[in-house]
Amino acid sequence: MTVYVRSLETAVPATKLIQSEARDVFAAQPGLSRLGSRLVNTCFDGAAIDTRFTAVQELTNTSRAENPQFYDQESGLLLNPSTKVRNDIFAREATKLFVAAARAALQAAPDVELLDITHLVTVSCTGFFNPGPDYKVVRELGLSPAVQRYHLGFMGCYAAFPALRAAKSFCEADPNAVVLVVCAELCSLHVRTSNDPDTIMGSALFADGAAAAVVTARPGTEETALLTLDHFETVLTPVGEDSMAWNIGDHGFEMVLGNYVPHIIDDHIVDALQPLLAREPELAALPYTAIPHWAIHPGGRSILDKVQSRLGLSDAQLVPAREILRNYGNMSSATVLFVLKNILEQPLQEGTPGDGRICSMAFGPGLTVETGLFTKLRQAAADTMSHGHVGGAAEDDLGVRHNQLPAEAPVA
């Protein structure tokens, strides 16, 4: 049975962070050591990021908060709210992103009615509340109260793959199933000033965003679907458990992203790909460059560099991942779906063998490597996200912008 992605849409908060300006704020904090200050400049400048988006509006110089919780604009000090304060904001702001991305995905599939949705899978690792985002999406969008709901929490940057794999399984078990998958992450809630290298790296990389997809195997879907979900595999590398982690602290969630992670990926990425490519022996016998599209989670510039070097991929094959990193940063689980959307918006070169094949991968705590093999069926409706072009975007009643980058605003 062929399972299709009928639509794939994205959403980001309306507040944009300019990387160079954020760097200057973090580098000016009084508690930094001389080494810490150097690390801030090195990490921010070396991240290959120009802009990111955040749900924390007070980080902009144009938004004055009476009782600032994250950034005191008058003193220039970054504050350190408790985990409860951060999580309360997550419950409010993440709901907006979940609903906005889900609504956009459904609007992009006009042949799918709200009551057609049989399953809902939500994903996030940056906060908790209950009734959770799955409940909120059902209520806000008016889905059937009988929708089967599943929430994948606290898995990390690779979690879009288990969500899509679950959607595929639901559709294979029930040919009439229509699954809505929504990933939303507010990573910026957990940034803080610190001399710790992992914390500094997280402050330089992470951002907020959401993505949603409608997945189904219903007859006739192939006429309008964007791609097929062909195969998924999961691999745990033999080392790396202590090199990448995501823990809960008293002042937000704490990231562990050791500088050895790119080396672990470099050593084990080939073995991690083998189970996936073995699903299609003819494809496995070809060089990696024979797969035209690579949707790689941009966990950081050095990770992309290692993947490209080890697999011998061309610069063109890394363009989608690098563009998303540059324009949006690392949005954890939602990021690889942004990369997939970028690829879908590129023209399909008819007559070129294998032009539609996409190999995708993401990395997370463990060290976990999730991989997927897809087939692009047609070009998605283009918008300015492709190729990093900046343009206007419609803002909905939730204050969330879809697909396109909003107009630039002065930020901290």
Between 84-88, 141-145, 253-257, 276-280, the lowest mean confidence (pLDDT) is in 253-257
d(CA 283, CA 300): 28
Tokens of 47: 């991240």
Task: Flag whether pLDDT at 403 surpasses 60.
Answer: no
The closest of 162, 206, 204 to 183, measured between CA atoms, is 162
Q: Give pTM, 2 decimals.
A: 0.92
Label residue 173 by pLDDT band (50, 70, 90).
very high
What confidence score (pLDDT) does residue 46 get?
A: 96
Label residue 383 by pLDDT band (50, 70, 90).
low
List, by residue number, the catalytic residues: 157
Mean pLDDT, rounded, for 10-24: 95
CA dihedral in degrees (402, 340, 95, 161; nearest 10)? 180
What confidence score (pLDDT) does residue 384 get?
A: 40
Task: Flag whether pLDDT at 49 surpasses 80.
Answer: yes
Contacts of 254 (CB under 8 A, 6+ apart): 190, 198, 199, 246, 247, 248
- Please, are residues 153 and 125 in contact by the beta-carbon 8 Å criterion? yes
CA distances from 317 to 7, 183, 224, 300, 322 (A): 23, 24, 26, 16, 10
Task: Flag whether pLDDT at 244 surpasses 90.
Answer: no
